[in-house]
Structure 1
């Protein structure tokens, strides 16, 4: 359930909103129903109002920065707005600079600046639209093309930046491509340090996997194994787990990792700090 946050620094008609289910924060225009992850400013609101009015206040022939690079040009005498797109390379550099994205590694693919570029199927796009998201967050934009290319990623971003969907949605696409029998074991494995984080990840997996018919289960200690085992036997393409409980189930031959080809370590640094490295190594050793 989205909750409004009182933030006097956000100019009207925008409101700061927090999705309590995911922890994501974004900004909502109460007049146009538009949403964005970029904080609106007084200047951006004024520029948008001038552009909407088309009154020539862009200095007769003025320019406004376009979010992905290039310029909007308003000709007051002709009352025409044109857009001159920046070269693709320039757009990529401008996007990364604007969102403070630093990339290391050879041959990194460019970010997906729109959901359409990711080519998600209609069921996933439907969930994205129902959530009110208008564009990928920066970590999603850059991680998606890398994950979809089958490459390894180490992604670092602050809480509420959309990291979960940054790895989850490509994981769902990977499951479709592999088309494994989920009753023989998961294709996607997500390890998390705590029960609380694992449950949050499951909620996102429920949201985006339900329409696709992709089932998941959450394995963590301090809860009965019975319901978790029933889920596994019914077939779960996605397993979200804490290392201790999963390692226990593997060693008891209750779950197989032989189909896992998409592995995520969520908050990996925290898991190492908590002493989970031996369990993680044993789990990874069971994966192909």
Structure 2
């Protein structure tokens, strides 16, 4: 109550967790009602008190505040994403960004950067970096994008630093790619010194327009999947890979906690694999092999290594 009734700099200090610990049911109900009058600024603590009730109150408040660039509705939306898992509110945050006044935009970028990493969030951060006039918002987008991709900032800013990885079912070719632009070229294996080939694998779908590929790269932060539209660090608990077959074609879908990260259809793989005695699907089909490894803790240990860059 003391903090609720405070003013000036004391009020600006906000609440702390210990203020809400030890409250009985009646006290919690009263504090909850008081905090609803301070939305969206009290969103974090409203959800801490009672997430289920807070979500109901937050939905009503979000509808009232959206579209007003002077209101900090992003504070509310961030907590709604966190506690409900509904990415609709992340989408609302992204849609609302352009309408905020300039001094709130850096805060909105940070808030969106704390929501789950997925293609929509990554694309938003890239667009801020490319088009935003607010330098503080751009700087925060760079930091958040680097964190989202688990890529050092010096690498995120450094176009032209290439890595090469080997093809899953052959030794003749390498994929040479720029981790920033994600552009890639197929080059002969002897075009890159053996010590400069990074620990990783790739598969390419030649039938698709342009160079469509999925590459697996070992990094100090664990395995990294790189593809035309983004990068993604798999997670042992959240990541799932679904493969469906219709007899002629197969379809791979990589999913993070329900959100599709990558998907592609491909012709069934034929051949004998990299080694003559390897004839099983796991030896021939990179996507199938990956689906069998993605929830194995040893996979994450194996693909945790320093990146070898091409000199």
In the superposition, the TM-score normalised over structure 2's length comes to 0.26
**Which structure's relative contact order is higher, taking Cα pairs within 8 Å and 6+ residues apart?**
1
Structure showing greater Rg: 2
